[in-house]
Structure 1
């Protein structure tokens, strides 16, 4: 998908997505402000209850139809969840089509949890960089399930979006001004079309990631760095799965440890699979597999309090993976690499997987490290290239080996 903003119209156009039965005055206000600011505005109605309070350019019947459903049937079921799910699906398809055709330049939604769910589905269908804003009370809590791997901007409405008052006027006004600013002041494309390299990194693997990024940039690639904190890994997988990435340099695979052993930085069970499924070249390493991530030390699970742990900062506590866990990680990593369809290389830093497991640092444990390396190398298929280096992951030799392997695999794959 490639959303081409502003290609088919002279004035920028903003799509408003909302339930016009319960949020009519609010969306009329957004429309009026958008028009006043010099934008065209289109309304898309996802309401399923009462009659719409304002007329929509895309009425609810059309939205349901885009989802492959019939509005009357959705209403007659009496199942709000089924109806909202269908309307979200239809809204996402219509918004993506309008963006691809160049008919809209940005999207804004407003409301409660249903609006947040709808905008999350819409955002998933729009490119990174395409303006998308949601005003909702849900912005004050855990936003991960709405933002996901997108660049959705969320604004807390402070009070519920239930009528116009001094608070909602101010917040909604800021939101429409923000979207209009985004669509009228887009950062121009740099005009290059370089192959994209995804690099995973963590604070304790930054020297390696930074050197790789610098080397690949100089070689003509465009490096994108992903923070391996769960959300970063999900974003990497989503972009790799969409075909937007030409090579993955997965040097920090720590999210596997959190998924297996209950840490807070899990990227889900599908981590390290999207590139392999599409045959995208991969260069992989063991970055930060010496740790499981948790929150503040006081919240460390009771069964782990007797383990070796380190307070990274007041909000992040790291537990050292032991030999048994490391062996399991090695097996899982090998299985993911074996299943991949494209060319892949694994670079093994035998002397430590992060800045914390080198000599003199709290997580130094050669026995646990060896358990991981042995399990990994013992389970790899013959067509997976392995490079073992007798240094830690932040030694320049590792970054250089991964960079060389990346460029070699891309040449092999003729990317």
Structure 2
């Protein structure tokens, strides 16, 4: 079905028409064109739904002042949300709020996608581009401590956020992205959390190929400023009372990724600021003898993160805590921070597994010429027995694991 087209001085799309003098529609797919000096306002409110059909909202606005709000709520075990906003005007404001909740289901799958485009390369905003974007997935397989029927519990969450902002003259770009996933599996003998990577990668320049939480931010200003704040978090808990339980959290191809590019005119007064906060907590609990696996790839922010100003700043904060009840649990941590800025970059990284922990806090610059810092952790690895003849009794060889810190160094 095509979009509803609105042309006028004051265009409104949403459930609550402001009244006389406004051109109103309740459509969730709309194209708004405001005449000179006019306003476009769109509110896509899905309400709290219990459906597997998902929610979709598409807003396109062209006018001096544009405001778009996308508010989506779903309570369902397998569903998706999509919000797509395009705005061209002197002042553009976009607010996206997506939430998926699933409780007491053995299989839970949530997929959220939000895309916001403000201004264009040919005609950027002359005043302000502003984005507030929030995505939340909450999954609880066992409800209030009661395991659902069946022996397998699986929880998969996928979040993708893409923001593109162009400002002209002294116009500014502002964005804040908050992405969170909370997963709790209780009772089953097999528990899988984010074991399947995303089929798409919104941040191909950094990290893994299919991150479960992914953000890509592009901001370009001339004499104005770029400001971005990125918050990404994942909290996973798996608890089983079954002997021989099998618990799996994460995959090497999934995890958390953030990609950021900010640019200003090198000869102008504008500057850029990007603050990235990434965190993950993984907890597995089961009777002795369980098979437990915890994997964590995490990355931000890229090889071309900031251009234009030696006053630019980019602090990257990354934290991982992995805890498993089994001493022989397979645990892996891979924290990667990258920055390329004429200004200053800071790496604040912390990692913890059963047998070790590590931290570093280091700043580079100005300038910060394509620096990378990381922490890698691995649990004790049990190698296969090796013997000269069939029937040999050989004790399995153990290689001690732990955490290694790699301070900032040039990646070029």
Give the TM-score, by structure 1 length.
0.31
Larger RCO (CA under 8 A, 6+ residues apart): 1
Q: Counting strand residues as a fraction of each chain, which structure ranks higher?
A: 2
| Larger helix percent | 1
